[in-house]
A and B are shown apart, each in its own frame.
Chain A
Amino acid sequence: MGHFIIVGILVVVMAILTYVGLDAAGVATQMHPIEASLQSVSIDWLWNWEIMAISFLFALIVVPMAYSMIVFRRKKGDPSEGEHFEGNTTLEIVWTVIPLFAVLALAYMGSYSLGETRRVDPNAIVIKVKAQQFAWTFEYPEYGIVSNELHLPVDQQVVLKMESADVIHSFWVPEFRVKQDIVPGPLTDYRITPILVGDYKVRCAELCGASHAYMENNVIVDTKADYDAWIAEQRAIALANQTPEGQGKLLTVKNGCIGCHSVDGAKMTGPTWLGLFGSNAELADGTTVVSDEAYITESILDPKAKEVAGFSPTTMPPYTLSEVEIANIIAYLKTLK
């Protein structure tokens, strides 16, 4: 009996120490990235219960194991065998049935928590999200705004109508917790209610190709006033951008071009656009070509026709754009010097 009492006490101590230790490591009461959405609250609540259960079960197995390893080790020169008992049906039933109920309780809590993350607000703001290799684009249909930054008002549910242009992507802002894949084909809904003003990042969580690691865009949760100001500013820019250059820039955002082409000279998956127009491009076959209207048009419509040296075989899909749209993009490229 003595062994059981000591082990029992040690299990309790160890369980508490494990929980406290995990909490100190920042993984218990919170999953650490700050809770920035209403949905994260119920997820972290469930997580905390799970860490408590894990701490207890860890202690429940490890303590009697360690105790046996020390106390029941074979002493030097002791030839005898261990105590002979083959099992205990009551005990087996106990440790089958109790876990069964524990598991059902956990599943119930899981269902409850899932329900909380799925609560629908009929007045949610609708924002369209387009994912493609390797950038996110956000469209505010009410205001005719297209942006590569996602601005959200605090304490207001938004529903993102997400679509993919190519492969599977996954929308994940760690501070929001909830993650949702975007599969080519149907639109996917993603509901979130930000509760904390701040700057975050959406990071693609489903492997989507060579630059998957860099498929990150800013997500900014604004106060209601800041959000309105941003909307007004973007509308003004949209109106001012009725020029060909402005429209061209908008098209490069909308089509995700800037996921692979930088405008500041940085080397990304594709060549930078800084100073591109009019320059000489060295091609993979050794020839050079002047980056004029004809060449750029060809490269948009049929990217594989002339591949630039120093880049891997292109993964850029052909884009079907109208003549006017291409002219606008070229007008924009001319401004990048």
Chain B
Amino acid sequence: MKKFFSTALARGLVWQLIGTLVGAGLVTGIRAMMGLSITDTFFFTEPAWVLGAFFGVLFFLAGNGSVSDWFKWSRGIDTPEHHEDHYTGWEKYLNVSLDHKVIGIQYTVTALLLISIGGLFALIFRTELAQSQLQFLTVDMKLFGQNGPQLYNTLMSLHGMIMIVSILLGIAGIINYVVPLLLGAQDMAFPRLNAFSFWIAVPAAVLLLMSLVLGGFDTGWTGYPPLSVRAPVGVQMFFLGVAAAGWSSILGALNVIATIIRMRSKGMTAMRMPIFVWAAVATSIIALTATQLIGLSFQLVMFQRLFGMGFFDPAKGGNPVLFQHLFWFYSHPAVYVFVLPGLGVISELLPVFARKPLFGYRWIAMSSMGIALVGFLVWAHHMFTSGMNEYLRVPFMYSTLLVAIPTGVKFFSWVATIWKGKLTYPTPMLFVLGAIVVFLLGGLTGPPNATVSVDLHLHDTYFIVGHFHDTIFGGFVFPFFAALYYWFPKATGRRMNETLGKIHFWLMTPSFFVLTFGMMQIGLLGMRRRIVDYDPALGFDSTHLVLTIAGYLIGLSVLIFIYNFFNSIKNGEKAEGNVWNSRSPEWQVPSPMPVHNYDQPFEVVGEPYDYGLPGSKYVEFSSPAKSKHK
């Protein structure tokens, strides 16, 4: 326990608490001197909470040591350039490390923690929805200053944003761990910035969860004004949490792009990069350039609340629809940030388990860039019913439908990749194939939403809810699990239990199909999204019960996964060699990966996916690779 309290994580959290009190105290003091009220429903006043939360993030970073190297440099003190192994075991992961592999695991485990919290929230409100009428989230119950329906709205909103942050951390985890290994780099281009990007996500998650106890917010993760202008103070914690998480995402993306441009091995030309690297580039370009817009849109609402600036207040000449444009300019491309790395994982793993070259490598690489580009031009398809200029709806319908083309190229290429292969089905491959089918359902249910007139019916119903859960599960969740099962031996030298892995897959996949198909069906029939209760006359009770059961089964399967994950770190079957018989460079050296990655630099001498071409090699090490750790 004493060890825990000396970790950077614990120190950061204590400093965040101190920072929050200092910031809030400062504002409260000024207000007291000005003769303004100094307390409110949740003890501090709203301005005090906002400055407190802001200070909390800064204090966390200053206190946990993730910026101390920069402070030292500014005072002219040198710091060691690379990894020091102060810590071993779990302590390594709770302290500031500059090693991209440690940071990758920190990201991944944080993502799994947040997925569990977001999933728990979903199960709570899914339970309420199992039957019409209010069961336990009643008008009479009270928690954190909210009654049942208000709490439902908060949980539903937080489910959305916590899952989004967990996805951003999950992809950052995979990219951080894998990309430098695929490139043959010793680390990311900016190791300190990398650590900073991870650590700022921790106070961000704390802020998001703080919103729950500060009255929550009933706006959905979209936070549309004027509703978000009227929401309790919790919405400010939500805004600040998103801003901090966005900061993490932007800086992380910058680092990924710099690493890929500057740190590739000899001979690794653009068209010889592993395909996952292409996906990482595409996703990072979006994250680097679009994330600012969600931060900005929330900041404008924050200022409207704090200072009465009427950006979105029609009485002061503002316009609520403007918010939606700013918000979706990030939040649509964001879904491509979520799915492109996952699609990259599919393309990366498929040849390994099909024992065949990736079909149409260049086309797949370019389709990622194409999706990233077109993704910037489609945001207003979320606003077909919003009352924006009517004539804008048609061009946005065309641009949105264009996304189908590069996405189609991926599907066709995947099918051609497994055609005439020699397929085997270990757990990662099951999740890859599951991902393709689930993402296909997400992809196919997309165009109806893009055609304006049909969308006028589908918008804001459970059809949309089913559709995007398909895209996110197919584009992120399934590939994320595939990646974890696949690279787990690389990180630990052991593999996860295959039987539990297969139970995980066969429990989750059918449940998930039932869940989203049921959602879409009742959505068509008139089930609106974001409602705590539904009219029993609609006859949705039995479907909702099935959906709830399916939700619990998915939760159970993820629990099995989490047990398998943590149990296998110590007890998994030893797997120190090239377990998947892959051509990729990271599998040519023994697992777990040594601290400084490759002892010998490698040179790219062939195509990455030439499975089945006798005598061909992707990489060649300068001298036979051997690890000092063996």
Contacts and interface: CB of A to CB of B under 8 A. Distances in A.
B521 A25 contact: yes
Contact of A82 (B356, B387, B409, B433): B356
Given A65-B433, A74-B355, A103 B401 contact: yes
Nearest to B611: A81
A106 interface: yes
A174 B463 CA distance: 13
B354 A184 contact: no
Interface of B: 41, 139-140, 142, 145-147, 149-150, 153, 218-220, 224, 226-227, 230, 314, 319-321, 354-363, 385-387, 390, 393-394, 397-398, 401-402, 404-405, 408-409, 411-413, 415-416, 418-425, 433, 436-437, 440-441, 444-445, 447-448, 450-454, 456-457, 459-461, 520-521, 524-526, 528-535, 607, 609-613
A62 B454 contact: no
A68 B524 contact: no
B456 A43 contact: yes
Contacts of A40: 457
Nearest to A185: B314
A47 B146 contact: no
B218 A86 contact: no
Given A50-B448, A103-B404, A179-B457, A267 B356 contact: no
B320 A168 contact: yes
Contacts of B359: 85-88
Please name the 8 residue pairs, one residue from A and one from B, whose CB atoms are nearest each other, closest first: A185-B314, A110-B451, A82-B356, A174-B526, A82-B421, A81-B612, A213-B531, A84-B612
Contacts of B610: 84, 86
Interface of A: 3, 25-27, 31-33, 39-40, 42-43, 46-47, 50, 53-54, 57-58, 61-62, 64-65, 68-69, 72-74, 78, 80-88, 91-92, 95-96, 99-100, 103-104, 106-107, 109-111, 113-114, 116-118, 166-168, 170, 172, 174, 177-186, 188, 201, 203-214, 216, 267-269, 310, 312-313, 315
A33 B314 CA distance: 36
Nearest to B443: A57
Nearest to A171: B385
B460 A212 contact: no
A111 B385 CA distance: 15
Nearest to B407: A99
9 contacts: A47-B448, A50-B451, A72-B419, A73-B423, A82-B355, A83-B356, A86-B358, A110-B452, A114-B394
Given A80-B422, A168-B227, A113 B530 contact: no
Given A50-B451, A167-B226, A213-B531, A110 B423 contact: no
A312 B146 contact: yes
A203 B418 contact: no
B80 to A, nearest CB: 45
A211 B139 CA distance: 10
A135 B538 CA distance: 20
Nearest to A97: B405
Contacts of A110: 397, 401, 450-454
B421 A68 contact: yes
Nearest to B395: A107
B387 A214 contact: no
A188 B321 CA distance: 13
A84 B611 contact: yes
A336 B477 CA distance: 56
A174 B433 CA distance: 36
Contacts of B460: 170, 172, 179, 205-206
A87 B386 CA distance: 44
Nearest to A108: B398
A205 B386 CA distance: 11
A107 B404 CA distance: 12
Nearest to B441: A58
B554 to A, nearest CB: 22
A82 B613 CA distance: 9
A269 B139 CA distance: 8
Contacts, number: 285
B361 A86 contact: yes
A205 B227 contact: no
B387 to A, nearest CB: 5
Contacts of A103: 401-402, 404-405, 447
Contacts of A208: 227
B525 A86 contact: no
A113 B531 contact: no
B454 A43 contact: yes
Contact of B394 (A111, A184, A185, A206): A111
A117 B384 CA distance: 13
Contact of B437 (A65, A182, A207): A65
Given A74-B422, A103-B405, A177-B457, A168 B397 contact: no
Nearest to A68: B418
Nearest to A93: B363
A86 B358 CA distance: 6
A96 B387 CA distance: 34
Contact of B320 (A31, A107, A183): A183
A91 B218 contact: no
A65 B418 contact: yes
A82 B528 contact: no
B423 A72 contact: yes
Contacts of A53: 447
Given A95-B412, A174-B526, A84 B386 contact: no
B314 A114 contact: no
Contacts of A206: 224, 460
Contacts of B528: 172, 203-205, 213
B412 to A, nearest CB: 5
Given A87-B416, A183-B320, 13 more contacts: A64-B419, A72-B354, A73-B423, A74-B422, A74-B424, A81-B356, A82-B356, A116-B453, A206-B460, A207-B218, A267-B139, A268-B139, A313-B41
B405 A96 contact: yes
Contacts of B413: 87, 92
A269 B149 CA distance: 10
B525 A211 contact: no
A205 B527 CA distance: 9
B437 A210 contact: no
A25 B519 CA distance: 13
A132 B193 CA distance: 48
Given A72-B421, A114-B453, A180-B385, A212 B416 contact: no
Contact of B360 (A50, A87, A100): A87
A185 B520 CA distance: 33
Given A27-B524, A103-B405, A84 B226 contact: no
B421 A185 contact: no
B535 A216 contact: yes
A125 to B, nearest CB: 21
A58 B444 contact: yes
Given A62-B440, A188-B387, A32 B524 contact: yes
A170 B612 contact: no
B420 A27 contact: no
Given A33-B526, A82-B422, A82-B611, A62 B457 contact: no
A216 B252 CA distance: 45
A168 B219 CA distance: 11
A11 B362 CA distance: 27
A282 to B, nearest CB: 15
B354 to A, nearest CB: 6
Q: In the complex, which of the residues A33, A62, A83, A117 has the most CB atoms of chain B within 10 Å of its own CB atom?
A: A83
B440 A179 contact: no
B219 A214 contact: no
Contacts of A201: 535
Contacts of A78: 422
Contact of A83 (B140, B142, B398, B421): B421
A88 B612 contact: no
A86 B609 CA distance: 9
A204 B227 CA distance: 14
Contact of B433 (A32, A46, A69, A269): A69
B145 A117 contact: no
B159 to A, nearest CB: 14
